[in-house]
């Protein structure tokens, strides 16, 4: 168990945030465009419920909670459990719709040993600079046998995500993210074994036209890391799709569970 003074923690966190910094602009863009609508969370509620039992009093940590939409959903779905939230970006912590949010990171979690019944990481794992250090820290705070629930787009898994159809250059960015075997191997060093992995479908936007109208480059790490030319070409593809395609935008991200 270790606690840092706030200033020391903040300096350490600054060095640990990877890929993009989640400053005020990124945070606002994420908040405006990346939250799933409450009705569209049902597939995730069911998927998480297959691996995590929300018994009264259990403690579930939303690690890298961002603007807090998952922590808020957990509190709404399961009022009897204790939901905790940790986030390294001050801009995200300030705007979080779930409070309180503690400063911390995947390798620096401000909770005692064996104090948690589950850890949730949603679209966070690719930002973690040292997966083995994160796995050790998550092992420390979890009770034996409790699950790590990782929601992510993983390297090599672009085909179920429409964004990569419109922005194919962003596939190369996704392929720099950890793959499922990479995460399994890193967590194995801390004694974890994968106990489940499933693609979970979600309605990301009610229509392609909505997706096109609401797109914000700052809200998507893969779009921030392609060239301006590739981004412009993708926007043109998306606008063409908005004119010709009907129906909701359904993507699938993966849920990887380790214990
Ligand atoms: C794409 S956002 C996802 C936010 C939230 N989990 C969600 O799904 O809505 C990624 C988040 O990971 C956070 N993050 C970055 N590096 C991290 C680290 N090393 N440990 C924990 N969280 C981190 C970022 O600050 C940001 O809030």
Decide if 146 is inside a domain: yes
Residue 192 Cα to ligand 1 middle (Å): 21
Report which DSSP code applies to 211.
H
Task: For residue 64, give the ligand 1 atom closest to its CA.
Answer: 22
pLDDT digits (tens, 9 = 90+) for 59-72: 999 999 999 999 99
Question: Is 122 a pocket residue for ligand 1 (Cβ < 6 Å)?
Answer: yes
Decide if 198 is inside a domain: yes
Decide if 121 is inside a domain: yes
- Residue with the smallest CA separation from ligand 1 atom 10 is 124
Mean pLDDT, the chain, whole residue set? 90
Task: For residue 128, give the ligand 1 atom closest to its CA.
Answer: 19
Decide if 31 is inside a domain: yes
Rounded-to-integer distance, Cα 151 and Cα 123, Å: 6
Tell whether the torsion through CA atoms of 78, 51, 111 and 13 is positive or negative: negative
Rounded-to-integer distance, Cα 39 and Cα 156, Å: 29
Question: Quick one: pLDDT band at residue 240, thresholds 50, 70, 90?
Answer: very high
122 Rama sector, left if φ>0, alpha if ψ -120 to 50, beta otherwise: beta
Residue range 120-140: mean pLDDT, rounded = 97
pLDDT digits (tens, 9 = 90+) for 182-211: 999 999 999 999 999 999 999 999 999 999
Question: Is 146 a pocket residue for ligand 1 (Cβ < 6 Å)?
Answer: no
* Strand pairing class (102-103; 148-152): unpaired
Decide if 77 is inside a domain: yes
The strand order across the sheet containing 148-152 reads 102-103, 82-87, 59-63, 118-122, 148-152, 249-258, 194-205
Decide if 229 is inside a domain: no
Question: Is 66 a pocket residue for ligand 1 (Cβ < 6 Å)?
Answer: yes
Residue 91 Cα to ligand 1 middle (Å): 11
Look up tokens 């509620």; give the residue: 45
Total structural domains in the chain? 1
Task: For residue 21, give the ligand 1 atom closest to its CA.
Answer: 25
CATH number of the domain that residue 85 is part of: 3.40.50.150
Question: Quick one: pLDDT band at residue 33, thresholds 50, 70, 90?
Answer: low
Decide if 153 is inside a domain: yes
Question: Quick one: pLDDT band at residue 15, thresholds 50, 70, 90?
Answer: very low
pLDDT digits (tens, 9 = 90+) for 98-127: 999 999 999 999 999 999 999 999 999 999
9-18, 64-73, 127-136: range with lowest mean pLDDT: 9-18
Structural domain span for residue 29: 6-161+170-202+253-258
Check whether 3 has a pLDDT greater than 90: no
CA distances from 150 to 9, 24, 131, 244 (A): 24, 25, 13, 34
Rounded-to-integer distance, Cα 114 and Cα 130, Å: 21
Decide if 219 is inside a domain: no
Q: For residues 163 and 184, is the Cβ–Cβ distance under 8 A?
A: no
């Amino acid at each position: 168990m270790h606690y840092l003074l706030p200033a020391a923690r903040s300096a350490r966190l600054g060095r640990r945030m990877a890929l993009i910094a989640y400053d005020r602009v990124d945070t606002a863009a994420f908040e405006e465009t990346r939250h799933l609508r409450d009705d569209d969370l049902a597939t995730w509620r069911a998927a998480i419920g297959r691996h995590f039992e929300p018994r009264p009093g259990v403690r579930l940590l939303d690690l890298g909670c961002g603007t807090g939409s998952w922590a808020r959903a957990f509190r709404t779905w399961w009022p009897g459990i204790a939901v905790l939230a940790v986030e390294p970006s001050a801009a995200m912590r300030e705007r979080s719709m779930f409070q309180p949010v503690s400063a911390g990171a995947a390798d620096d979690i401000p909770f005692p040993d064996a104090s948690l019944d589950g850890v949730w990481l949603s679209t966070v794992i690719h930002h973690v600079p040292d997966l083995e250090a994160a796995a050790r820290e998550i092992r420390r705070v979890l009770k034996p046998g409790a699950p790590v629930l990782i929601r992510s787009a993983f390297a090599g898994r672009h085909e179920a995500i429409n964004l990569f159809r419109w922005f194919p250059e962003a596939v190369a960015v996704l392929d720099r993210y950890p793959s499922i075997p990479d995460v399994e191997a890193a967590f194995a060093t801390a004694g974890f074994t994968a106990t489940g992995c499933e693609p979970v479908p979600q309605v990301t936007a009610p229509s392609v036209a909505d997706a096109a109208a609401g797109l914000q480059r700052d809200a998507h790490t893969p779009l921030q890391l392609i060239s301006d030319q590739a981004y412009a070409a993708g926007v043109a593809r998306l606008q063409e799709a908005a004119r010709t395609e009907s129906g909701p935008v359904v993507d699938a991200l993966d849920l990887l569970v380790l214990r």
